[in-house]
Structure 1
Amino acid sequence: MTAAESEPASETTFDVVVVGSGAAGMTAALTAADLGLSVVVVEKDRYYGGSTARSGGGIWVPDNEVLRRAGAGDSPELAATYLDNLVGEQVSADRRRALLEHGPAMLDLVLRRTPVRLEWIPGYSDYYPELPGGLAGGRTVEPRPFDGRALGAELANLQPPYLAAPAGMTVTAAEYKWMNLIARHPRGVLTAARVAVRRMISLARKRPLLALGQALVAGLRAGLQRAEVPVWLSTQLVELETTGDRVTGAVVLRGGTEVRLRARRGVVLAAGGFERNERMRKQYQREPIGTEWTVGAQENTGDAIEAGQRLGAAVELMDDAWWGPSIPLTGGPYFCLSERTLPGCIVVNAAGRRFVNEATPYVDAVHAMYAGNETGVSHIPCWLIADQRYRNRYTFAGLPPRQRFPGRWYKAGVVRSAGTLRELAEAIEVPAEELTAAVERFNGFARRGHDEDFRRGESAYDHYYGDPRLPNPSLAPLEVAPFHAVKIVPGDLGTKGGLRTDADARVLREDGSPIPGLHAAGNASAAVMGNTYAGAGATIGPAMVFGYLAARSIAENDQSTAPPTDSAVPRPRIWRDR
């Protein structure tokens, strides 16, 4: 423990104050330290890592060194074409350009200053690979399993994953794909065996292995330890502090005591979105909405966003989120990633009809769910309909093939099963004729290998979690009783809207002018992806890039805001709700 991490003083000064300890905040702090600035990270939660630690840990940063070494076939020109076609003018060209120009350098710094090691996930395609510039082979990289011993005592303070792997296994995103196919493909069996052997070796060596978002966060935290950057846990942002129109620090609550953190050079807000704030969700987003369907970190209540707004900051994209169809399980929502894309299932609305390509990127799937409000036919909740062959073949929400759904899921109304489709329709209160017709029509498409209604299975993305033993990996008929229905609601990984920023991650007012001394990155800022989602890791990758750019912008600004010694100079103002 450094002196800066010991008992709180009433006032402490750093060059940079970072609010939030997810990928955006840690990358900002790491960059600031690399540039020779003193920096502190404050985190509201008792754990560090935020939603990043609860995520899959993928990073979408085009044309980085890991992709180049792997021969992924990317280039700056291809990536720019892809974002131009995908995001377009919804997000300024300079922000899109900043992501692409500085992303590789950001990852180089992370790999140089931390023990994080990354690998390409081949075949995990961009979410719209058929667009010009899209890559069917994908641009997503993920952390290798990380030895938690590198953190020492700080391992105990790492944010837990939202869903632990069974039997304490360490499973990467690339392995997850094949583990789902353990009953269908030899590679699934080999992957499971490799994961099991790795688990036994780690137990024998008393080596705690971390994967996915936890591995990324742990590596970043280890980098901050090396750089002697303090991370204050259980420290809540109270208010931003200004002198004139410039942000010069923050007031935080630590150990029951208010502490004034002076920032000589600037403040970076990286405290996540507002997914856990019921009031804000109802203010900005469409019903039905709430806090019970998100898998974002518990402390993401929009504190940093509202602190910026009180200084006149503009916000954007507040009605949107990093959506994903989710199963409202009794222990918390399950983000439904592969389950709805595997062959042998469809998704129907309250009218018993299909309304979307089930394998579409998850943000688009929830946009389609909310679009039902405009048609007069509710798509929320909707139901994933599958037959027993589907359950015999594939892993589902962590349940191995053939394993029965838990009784508590039935008791909670999350799952219904029946011997016929008509009986199943009655159980979930949809028209039997419509559900039967929807399944029969889909079965015809599946047998012919072409979905004429929603084009499921035409995109390379649709195939990633599919079954390679089938002619179309995304399509199979529903024929084998009993039939099952699983409730689906509009969950999310976090909210997408936040403070408006420029290409240097500076927070902007409504008139487009920057608020001096204030930067934002991650879900505290409006997403550079706009209303869409480029590929797996397009939350974390840009969050890290703009955290990096925030620190660089602060370092390149020669104006220091160190408090003068003249006692006649007015004390900074503290912005509070009155």
Structure 2
Amino acid sequence: MAAVVIWDATPRRDASADVVIVGAGACGLVAALRARAAGADVIVLERDASPSGSTAMSSGFVPAPSTRFQRAIGVRDDTPELFEADIMAKSHGASSPLLARLAATAIGPAIEWLSDAHGIEWIVLDDFLYPGHARHRMHAVPEKTGAALHARLLAAAEAAGVTIVTGARATRLFVSAPDRVEAVEIARPDGATEVIGCKALVLACSGFGGNAELVARHIPEIAGGLYYGHAGNTGDALLWGEALGARLDHLSGYQGHGSLAHPHGILISWALMMRGGIQVNMTGERFSDESGGYSEQAVHVLAQPGAIAWNIYDCTIHEFALAFPDYAEADKAGAIRAAPDVIGLAAATGLPQAGLAASLAAIEDCRLGRTADPFGRDFTSVAPLAPPYHAVKVTGALFHTQGGLMIDDDARVLRGDGAAFANLFAAGGAACGVSGPQVSGYLSGNGLLTAIAFGSVAGTAAATVALR
């Protein structure tokens, strides 16, 4: 069912709330918690029978500077300005400066508020530095999964008295000219419809990765890759925005991932690469700088024969990676191959022994400083890869889109003429993100960064509008 805008200021209303939020992922739940804390009556509309979305499918890692959780592990010199600079550097200056600054300044207070007000526990990952980040700033709940983060946010929302309506796909917005949303129509699984009135509306319904037509139109380079995101990310916010004449930016931006176990469909942490692992193609040869970032690596992997690569690493890295639940699941599923030496590794993977041996010898020469890596990677700071070896077969995938509705510093959606809609807000994947227009602009954690930072801003601002 297509997302539709109806220009009608007086639709029937079967229910109403101060703030209505479309989507019950991390973004929608954080927005709901903020709006509820500000005194607003909140309804969250969730299309699925049980809320999950992109958050539950993610690793659950959230970058944030200047938090007490960083200080607890000795990171005392991180700042929003340094984080903003990292965001801009990753996109080569192509990110929206306004949004980069908003995300970098809002995320730390949001993380601490979720802990103080709702008991969300955070730890900071400090075993390795994620690509593009100048400091250890990646926060996670103790379970280190997106599903656990989502479960904690969902429990917090329920405890705060947020009404979450499931099995309720938002299909139509009722709008009074020129800029005010009056109500949202929802469709039930049995075909029934209801209209929910609102004083403010927050779009937290993610991006358009699950809409093959929109992906082919806006991001043709990844249209042939696997989509590893929630099926509900069908671009409703984008379609509503187009119908409303909203400003849309960076629709070609997206997060890819070059390490999805094949055919198992399990995310393999990029920590393997950052600890010294490499990727080779079906000839056993490396084809890129693996330390550049997992997002752009999706394109590099998809360009290889069969759109396949192998992650090659050793037992030390394997033992380290077992602490990540996704990796442990992949190991249990039989995706991880083990071998005592290069001969065994060739047999276990079906890769040419000569190619593997040459690739391993070449990176050791780079590590010792005897030669420079032709792809530009610095191996001098990582330990040598030593037998026994491990390997996992992977492919590249689209995880989620990064372009969307342009917002101001209150997360209000902007019209094409630059003015803001009176009561329409967007955050997370529904809004334009901070990765710029290219896949290479994605800095690790940008997805949950904008979900939580912009969701926090949107929930507070929406409540302010609704309660005037």
TM range (shorter): 0.7 to 0.9
Contact 2:32–2:42 under 8 Å retained in 1: yes
Kindly indicate whether residue 385 of structure 2 is the aligned counterpart of residue 476 of structure 1: yes
For residue 524 of structure 1, report the CA deviation from its aligned partner. 1.5
State the identity %.
Answer: 24
- CA contact under 8 A between 1:14 and 1:262: conserved in structure 2? yes
Q: How many residues of Structure 1 are paired with residues of Structure 2 in the alignment? A: 447
Please say if 1:215 is aligned against 2:145: no
Task: State the Cα deviation string for residues 131-190 of structure 1 (Å, max 9, x = none).
Answer: xxx22xx1122223xxxxxxxxxxxxxxxxxxxxxxxxxxx34xxxxxxxxxxxxxxxxx
State whether residues 173 and 183 of structure 2, in contact with CA within 8 Å, keep that contact through their aligned partners in structure 1.
Answer: yes
Aligned positions of 1:280-359 closer than 5 A? 280-287=214-221, 289-290=223-224, 292-294=226-228, 296-343=229-276, 346-349=278-281, 353-359=285-291
Q: 1:549 to 1:288 in 2, by over 3 A?
A: closer
Cα offset, 1:449, TM superposition:
8.2
- Quote the Cα distance in structure 1 between the aligned partners of 2:196 and 2:329: 50
Q: 1:278 to 1:86 in 2, by over 3 A?
A: closer
User: In the alignment, which residue of structure 2 is the partner of 1:454?
Assistant: 375
Q: 1:333 to 1:309 in 2, by over 3 A?
A: farther
Q: Secondary structure in 1 aligned to 2:271?
A: coil
Kindly indicate whether the alpha-carbon contact (under 8 Å) linking 2:203 and 2:430 is maintained by their aligned counterparts in 1: yes
CA distance in 2, matches of 1:346, 1:124: 16
* Contact 1:127-1:534 at 8 Å conserved across structures: no
- Where do 1:31-42 residues align within 5 Å? 31-42=34-45
Q: Equivalents in 2 of 1:99, 1:387: separation in Å?
A: 35
What residue is the counterpart of 1:259 in the other structure? 194
Please say if residues 318 and 390 of structure 2, whose CA atoms lie closer than 8 Å, have aligned partners that are also in contact. no
Provide the secondary structure at the position in 2 that maps to 1:252. strand
Secondary structure in 2 matching 1:548: helix
Match of 1:26 in 2: 29
Q: Distance in 2 between matches of 1:219 and 1:404?
A: 26
Which stretch shows the higher mean deviation, 272-281 or 529-538? 529-538
Aligned to 1:332, what secondary structure does the other structure show?
coil
Q: Decide whether the 8 Å contact of 1:327 with 1:486 is kept in 2.
A: no
Cα distance, 1:486–1:287 mapped onto 2, change above 3 Å: farther
* Unaligned residue ranges in structure 1 (runs of 5+): 1-8, 145-171, 174-211, 373-377, 411-416, 459-470, 561-578
Aligned to 1:140: 138
Change over 3 Å in CA distance of 1:88–1:228 after alignment to 2: same
CA distance in 2, matches of 1:388, 1:219: 35
Shift in Å, 1:292 = 3.8
Aligned partners of 1:71, 1:394: CA distance in 2, in Å? Answer: 22
Q: Match of 1:462?
A: none
Counterpart-to-counterpart distance in 2, 1:421 and 1:67: 39
CA contact (8 A) 2:110 2:452 kept: yes
Q: Deviation per CA, 1:435-468: give whole Å up to 9, x if none.
A: 665454334335658752234455xxxxxxxxxx
Q: Higher Cα Rg: structure 1 or 2? A: 1
Deviation at 1:367? 4.5
Deviation at 1:216, TM superposition (A): 2.1
In the superposition, relative to structure 1, how do residues 139 and 533 fare at CA in structure 2: closer, same or farther (>3 Å)?
farther
- 1:442–1:451 Cα contact (<8 Å) kept: no
CA distance in 2, matches of 1:393, 1:107: 30
The equivalent of 1:79 in structure 2 is: 83
Pairs within 5 Å for 1:107-506 = 107-129=111-133, 134-135=134-135, 138-144=136-142, 172-173=143-144, 212-245=145-178, 246-256=180-190, 257-264=192-199, 266-287=200-221, 289-290=223-224, 292-294=226-228, 296-343=229-276, 346-349=278-281, 353-369=285-301, 378=304, 381-384=307-310, 386=312, 398=327, 406=334, 419=343, 437-446=358-367, 452-457=373-378, 472-476=381-385, 486-506=392-412
Quick one: distance in 2 between partners of 1:45 and 1:120?
A: 31
TM-score (norm 1): 0.67
Q: Cα–Cα, structure 1 residues 367 and 449, in superposed 2: closer, same or farther, change >3 Å?
A: farther
User: In the alignment, which residue of structure 2 is the partner of 1:539?
Assistant: 447
- Displacement of 1:293 in angstroms is 4.0
C-alpha distance in 1 between matches for 2:319 and 2:107? 40
- The 1:139–1:288 alpha-carbon spacing in structure 2 relative to 1, beyond 3 Å, is closer
Distance 1:450 1:27, change over 3 A: farther
Q: Deviations over 1:303-352 (max 9, x none)?
A: 23222222222333323322111335344343453344554x53234676
CA distance in 2, matches of 1:404, 1:26: 32
Cα drift, residue 528 of structure 1: 1.8
Cα drift, residue 29 of structure 1: 0.8
CA 1:400–1:526: 2 relative to 1, 3 Å:
closer
Q: Distance in 1 between matches of 2:406 and 2:20?
A: 19
Deviation at 1:223, TM superposition (A): 2.1
The residue type equivalent to 1:546 in the other structure is: F
Gaps of 5+ in 2: 1-11
1:226-248 CA-to-partner distances (Å, cap 9, x unmatched) read: 22111111110111110112222
- The answer on whether the counterparts of 2:174 and 2:181 sit within 8 Å (CA) in structure 1 is yes
Q: Residues 80-110 of structure 1, C-alpha deviation per residue, up to 9 Å, x if partnerless? A: 4434444464233322222233333323432
Structure 1 residues 92, 433: closer, same or farther in 2, change over 3 A?
same
Deviation at 1:267, TM superposition (A): 0.9
The CA distance in 1 between the partners of 2:332 and 2:23, in whole Å, is: 41
**1:48 is the counterpart of 2:51:** yes
Residues 394 and 17 of structure 1, relative CA distance in 2, 3 Å threshold? closer
Per-residue CA deviation, residues 521-573 of structure 1 (Å, 9 max, x unaligned), is 1111221232456765332122111111112322333796xxxxxxxxxxxxx
SS across alignment from 1:539: helix
Give, as a single letter, the amino acid of the residue that structure 1 aligns with 2:382.
P
Alignment check: 8 A CA contact 2:408 2:414 kept:
yes
Per mean C-alpha deviation after superposition, the further-off stretch among 12-21 and 503-512 is 503-512
* More deviation, 272-281/61-70: 61-70
Report if the CA contact (8 A) 1:58-1:537 is conserved: yes
User: 1:49 deviation in Å?
Assistant: 3.1
- 1:176-230 Cα offsets, whole Å, 9 max, x none, are xxxxxxxxxxxxxxxxxxxxxxxxxxxxxxxxxxxx2233222222222222111
C-alpha distance in 1, partners of 2:467/2:344? Answer: 72
1:62 Cα shift? 1.5
Distance in 1, matches of 2:456 and 2:318, equals 46
CA contact (8 A) 1:324 1:491 kept: yes
Is 1:105 matched with 2:39?
no
Cα separation, partners in 2 of 1:36 and 1:384, compared to 1, 3 Å:
same
Letter in structure 1 aligned against 2:207: G
Residue by residue, what CA displacement relative to the aligned partner does 1:421-441 show, whole Å, maximum 9, x if unpaired? 98899x56x8x9766654543
Please give the secondary structure, in 2, of the residue aligned with 1:214: helix
Q: Which amino acid aligns with 2:363?
A: F
78-87 or 276-285, which deviates more: 78-87
Kept in 2: contact 1:127–1:533 (CA 8 A): no
CA drift of 1:298 comes to 2.9
